[in-house]
């Protein structure tokens, strides 16, 4: 068995056969496979079907059609067996706030049948890894959001699952907690644990995932490695330039080879099919205008841009007449 | 599943159910809704009924014990399950390697322990005030079965829509309240109108009150064995209905 998760024709319709309820097709005949030890990102806008899919894979919901297997076990016919193999960290940290961190882990260990001798050793190890050892006897209701998240993750790993489901693992967390969780995911990959992660954070997926699937309107729109997905959209290459002085945005858009100029903070991103050709044009133009270039880079499309392109979502709102804005570059060394 | 594999699975599930019950006992017994709906309410209801009535202690205590076990045991399910659904810890149980019946058994056990433990208090107080036990076995069986029936009734109530304790507990109380008046607690069954006597046969509280009365020398309307059998039937029916409704709700994502 090389696949940790296999999904074939999976479909979920809510409200089917219920009187007075309009059926809603949440997941529409999707199929994918996740290799053992892989970190797999599942991306999609709100309502795309991410949570429904994860709920079916974790046996919380029955599919309307299709099949799914986790570690070779069918999620419908052997849901009990599936639950033995998986750990789950839902979007909302569902810890027992009336319990201390230690008691939360002990309860989880007993629920999963972790032998008594192993329980305390594992709890100590996880609390140390997640920087919660000092707070082990403190009631978790007083924990910060990041600490609760880390405790929830520790609970999900207590029984050493072979597949870990992470639903929006870093949503709303401070930078320190985000980095800690990212590091944990990296270690899990090293330990051979399969991680299935849903996230809104495209950068998160780009950095952590071996492959990503993009789901939209209940269907898989794309599935590949982050870099391959980016390569599919070469038309979204750009030259990013920052000037030390104000410049005429309309003129930038009109430069030879530039398809579109967009303002991002103190920089301008010039979208082009040929970055190598645009760079000397920009440099010449800046010299003619008497502008000092603070920085100049070529950029491939970000996973975020790929996501927006695939899902057809609107790009982040641009100010009216942005193309006519005048921008001032930041300070920096001219390249 | 063959018979050889069934027994270890049953042992495994029962052990996990007890782990859930233990957790509920530690976390939820002291929650304000449990104290209010499970202890304060029956206590004050009993006071309002008994104060000023010139009845011997022996006649009052069995009714107090029955009311107590009724309210306390049936308060755990409608408080704990909506609470756990609201904070999403119920999902944690649903995705652990155990079945829904084991989860609901755990919730029921927590109610049974709570019902019996709290009902012992008026019983001990009653004994100190002169009440007596004439059939200890019937009392033990009656208390345990009654706590089981009312606890599983609470689990059944918890299938009422809503993740808010209040939105589940209010309708649950509206169902519990009328049972007090058709179960021989305040008015002896023989004094009820015919329609009242018919309704009394449909109320599990009738049999709980009757067997406790019998065990404390107060006489009984039915034979205690019939009371016990009726309680077993109610317990089974409530567990089955609760399990079915929870499974339905789960599939709808409630």
Residue A216 belongs to a domain with what CATH number? 3.40.50.300
**Percentage of residues of chain A with pLDDT beyond 70:** 92
Task: Please tell me whether residue A21 adopts helix, strand or coil conformation.
Answer: coil
How far is residue A133's CA from residue A112's CA, in Å, rounded to a whole number? Answer: 22
Nearest C-alpha in A relative to B98: A80
Q: Which class for A117: exposed (0-12), middle (13-18), buried (19 or more C-beta within 10 A)?
A: exposed
Closest Cα of chain A to B82: distance in Å?
Answer: 14
Burial of A261-275, coded b for 16+ CB within 10 Å and e otherwise, reads bbbeebbbbbbbeeb
How far is residue A74's CA from residue A265's CA, in Å, rounded to a whole number? Answer: 49
Torsion angles phi and psi, residue B12, rounded to 5 = -60, -50
- Provide the pLDDT for residue A325: 34
Distance of CA B94 to the CA centre of its chain: 23
Asked, for residue A333, whether it belongs to a domain, the answer is no
Relative orientation angle of helices B136-157 and B165-179, to the nearest 10 degrees = 140
- Provide the pLDDT for residue A333: 34
Q: How far is CA B198 from CA A115, B108, B142, B189, in A?
A: 53, 28, 22, 10
Residue found under tokens 């829509």: B161
Task: Please tell me whether residue B183 adopts helix, strand or coil conformation.
Answer: coil
Whether residue A174 sits in one domain with residue A69: yes
Closest CA to A291 of A328, A240, A236: A328
State which of A231, A253, A279 marks the end of a domain: A231
- Provide the pLDDT for residue A46: 82
Whether residue A76 sits in one domain with residue A186: yes
**Percentage of residues of chain B with pLDDT beyond 90:** 47
Beta carbons of A110 and B95 less than 8 Å apart: no
Say which of A62, A86, A96 has its CB closest to residue B89: A96
Which neighbouring-strand residues pair with A88? A165
Whether residue A304 sits in one domain with residue A204: no
Quick count: other Cβ atoms within 10 Å of Cβ B252?
Answer: 12
- Provide the pLDDT for residue B171: 83
Whether residue A189 sits in one domain with residue A75: yes
Asked, for residue A335, whether it belongs to a domain, the answer is no
The residues spanned by each domain of chain B are 3-251
> Could you tell me the pLDDT band of residue A273, with boundaries at 50, 70 and 90?
confident
Beta carbons of B16 and A80 less than 8 Å apart: no
Closest Cα of chain B to A103: distance in Å?
Answer: 10
Closest Cα of chain B to A81: distance in Å?
Answer: 7
Q: Are A180 and A207 in contact (CB under 8 A)?
A: no
State which of A196, A211, A231 marks the end of a domain: A231
- Provide the pLDDT for residue A263: 85
Beta carbons of B95 and A86 less than 8 Å apart: yes
Whether residue A296 sits in one domain with residue A205: no
Out of A17-26, A292-301, B13-22, give the one with best mean pLDDT. Answer: B13-22
Closest Cα of chain A to B107: distance in Å?
Answer: 14
How far is residue B198's CA from residue B231's CA, in Å, rounded to a whole number? Answer: 17
A286-332 pLDDT, tens digit each? 898 888 888 998 887 777 777 777 777 654 443 333 333 333 333 33
Query: What is the mean predicted confidence (pLDDT) over A173-202?
Result: 87
**What does pLDDT average to over chain B?**
88
Pairing of strands A86-89, A163-167: parallel
Q: How far is CA B194 from CA B182, B184, B191, B197, B227, in A?
A: 11, 13, 9, 5, 20
**Residue A96 predicted with pLDDT over 90:** yes
B77-107 pLDDT, tens digit each? 988 999 999 999 999 999 999 999 999 999 9
**Residue B149 predicted with pLDDT over 60:** yes
> Could you tell me the pLDDT band of residue A254, with boundaries at 50, 70 and 90?
confident
- Provide the pLDDT for residue A202: 76
Asked, for residue A134, whether it belongs to a domain, the answer is yes
**What does pLDDT average to over chain A?**
85
Burial of B155-182, coded b for 16+ CB within 10 Å and e otherwise, reads bbbbbbebbebeebbeebbeebeebbbb
Torsion angles phi and psi, residue A14, rounded to 5 = -85, 140
> Could you tell me the pLDDT band of residue B137, with boundaries at 50, 70 and 90?
very high
Report the number of distinct structural domains present in chain A.
2
What DSSP letter does each residue of A269-327 carry, written as one string? EEE-S-HHHHHHHHHHHHHHHTPPEEEEEEEPPPHHHHHHHHHTPPPSP--TTGGG-EE
Residues of A within 8 A of B98 (CB-CB) are 80, 83, 111
Q: Are B87 and B53 in contact (CB under 8 A)?
A: no
How far is residue A17's CA from residue A22's CA, in Å, rounded to a whole number? Answer: 9
How far is residue A248's CA from residue A260's CA, in Å, rounded to a whole number? Answer: 14
pLDDT greater at residue A236 or residue A293:
A293
Domain that holds residue A169: 3-231
Whether residue A151 sits in one domain with residue A45: yes
Interface test with B, best of A21, A83, A87 (most B CBs within 10 A): A83
Closest Cα of chain B to A114: distance in Å?
Answer: 12
Whether residue A188 sits in one domain with residue A324: no
A201-221 pLDDT, tens digit each? 777 888 889 999 988 889 998
Beta carbons of B96 and A98 less than 8 Å apart: no
Beta carbons of B251 and A61 less than 8 Å apart: yes
Whether residue A178 sits in one domain with residue A246: no
Whether residue A247 sits in one domain with residue A221: no
Beta carbons of B19 and A58 less than 8 Å apart: no
Q: Are A269 and A240 in contact (CB under 8 A)?
A: yes
**Residue A246 predicted with pLDDT over 80:** no
Does an H or E element contain A266, and which?
A: none
State which of A203, A231, A259 marks the end of a domain: A231
How far is residue B75's CA from residue B114's CA, in Å, rounded to a whole number? Answer: 9
Q: Which class for A307: exposed (0-12), middle (13-18), buried (19 or more C-beta within 10 A)?
A: buried
How far is residue B180's CA from residue A168's CA, in Å, rounded to a whole number? Answer: 49
Residues of A within 8 A of B12 (CB-CB) are 113
Beta carbons of B88 and A90 less than 8 Å apart: yes
Closest CA to A201 of A228, A227, A176, A169: A169
pTM: 0.81
> Which of A144-148, A157-161, A308-312 shows the lowest per-residue confidence on average (mean pLDDT)?
A308-312
Interface test with B, best of A26, A53, A85, A113 (most B CBs within 10 A): A113
Closest CA to A112 of A132, A88, A136: A88
Query: What is the mean predicted confidence (pLDDT) over A151-177?
Result: 90
Reduced DSSP (H G I as helix, E B as strand, rest coil) percent helix, strand, coil of chain A, to 5: 35, 30, 35
Asked, for residue A334, whether it belongs to a domain, the answer is no
DSSP A71: T
Whether residue A217 sits in one domain with residue A308: no
Phi-psi region of B238 (alpha: psi -120 to 50; beta: other; left: phi over 0): alpha
- Rounded to a whole number of angstroms, the CA Rg of chain B reads 18
Whether residue A53 sits in one domain with residue A20: yes
Encoding tokens for residue A229?
């997905």
Whether residue A239 sits in one domain with residue A211: no
């Amino acid at each position: 068995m090389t696949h940790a998760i296999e999904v074939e024709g999976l479909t979920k319709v809510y409200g089917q056969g219920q009187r007075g309820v309009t059926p809603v097709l949440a997941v529409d005949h999707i199929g994918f496979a996740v290799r053992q030890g892989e970190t797999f990102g599942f991306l999609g806008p709100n309502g795309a079907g991410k949570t429904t899919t994860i709920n079916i894979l974790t046996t919380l919901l029955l599919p309307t059609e299709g099949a799914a297997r986790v570690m070779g076990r069918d999620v419908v016919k052997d849901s009990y067996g599936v639950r033995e193999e998986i750990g789950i960290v839902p979007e909302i940290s569902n810890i027992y706030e009336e319990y201390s961190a230690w008691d939360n882990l002990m309860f989880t260990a007993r629920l999963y049948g972790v032998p008594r001798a192993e329980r305390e050793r594992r709890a100590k190890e996880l609390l140390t890894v997640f920087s919660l050892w000092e707070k082990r006897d403190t009631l978790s209701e007083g924990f910060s959001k990041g600490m609760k998240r880390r405790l929830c993750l520790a609970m999900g790993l207590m029984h050493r699952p072979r597949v870990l489901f992470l639903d929006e693992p870093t949503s709303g967390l401070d930078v320190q907690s985000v980095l800690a969780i990212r590091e944990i995911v990296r270690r899990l990959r090293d330990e051979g644990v399969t991680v299935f992660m849903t996230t809104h954070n495209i950068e998160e997926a780009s950095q952590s995932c071996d492959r990503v699937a993009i789901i939209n309107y209940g269907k898989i729109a794309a599935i590949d490695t982050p870099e391959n997905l980016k390569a599919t959209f070469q038309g979204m290459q750009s030259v990013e330039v920052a000037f030390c002085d104000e410049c005429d945005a309309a003129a930038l858009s009109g430069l030879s080879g530039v398809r579109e100029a967009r303002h991002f903070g103190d920089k301008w991103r010039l979208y082009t099919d040929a970055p190598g050709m645009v760079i000397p044009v920009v440099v010449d133009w800046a010299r003619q205008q008497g502008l000092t270039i603070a920085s100049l880079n070529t950029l491939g499309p970000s996973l975020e841009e790929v996501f927006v392109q695939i899902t057809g979502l609107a790009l982040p709102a641009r100010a009216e007449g942005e193309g006519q804005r005048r921008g001032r570059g930041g300070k920096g060394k001219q390249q | 599943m063959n018979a050889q594999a069934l027994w270890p699975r049953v042992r495994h599930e029962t052990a996990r159910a007890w782990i859930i019950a233990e957790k509920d006992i530690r976390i939820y017994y002291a929650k304000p809704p449990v104290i209010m709906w499970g202890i304060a309410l029956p206590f004050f209801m009993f006071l309002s009924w008994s104060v000023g009535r010139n009845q011997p202690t022996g006649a009052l205590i069995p009714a107090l014990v029955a009311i107590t076990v009724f309210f306390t045991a049936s308060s755990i399910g409608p408080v704990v399950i909506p609470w756990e659904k609201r904070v999403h810890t119920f999902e944690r149980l649903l995705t652990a390697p155990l079945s829904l019946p084991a989860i609901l058994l755990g919730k029921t056990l927590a109610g049974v322990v709570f019902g019996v433990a709290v009902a012992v208090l008026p019983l001990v107080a009653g004994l100190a005030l002169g009440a007596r036990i004439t059939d200890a076995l019937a009392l033990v069986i009656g208390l345990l079965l009654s706590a089981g029936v009312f606890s599983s009734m609470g689990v059944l109530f918890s299938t009422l829509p809503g993740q808010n304790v209040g939105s589940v507990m209010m309708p649950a109380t509206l169902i519990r309240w009328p049972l007090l008046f058709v179960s021989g607690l305040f008015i002896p069954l023989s004094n009820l109108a015919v329609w009242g006597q018919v309704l009394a046969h449909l109320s599990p509280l009738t049999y709980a009150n009757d067997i406790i009365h019998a065990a404390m020398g107060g006489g009984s309307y039915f034979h205690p064995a019939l009371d016990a059998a009726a309680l077993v039937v109610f317990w089974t029916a409530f567990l089955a209905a609760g399990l079915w409704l929870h499974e339905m709700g789960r599939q709808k994502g409630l």
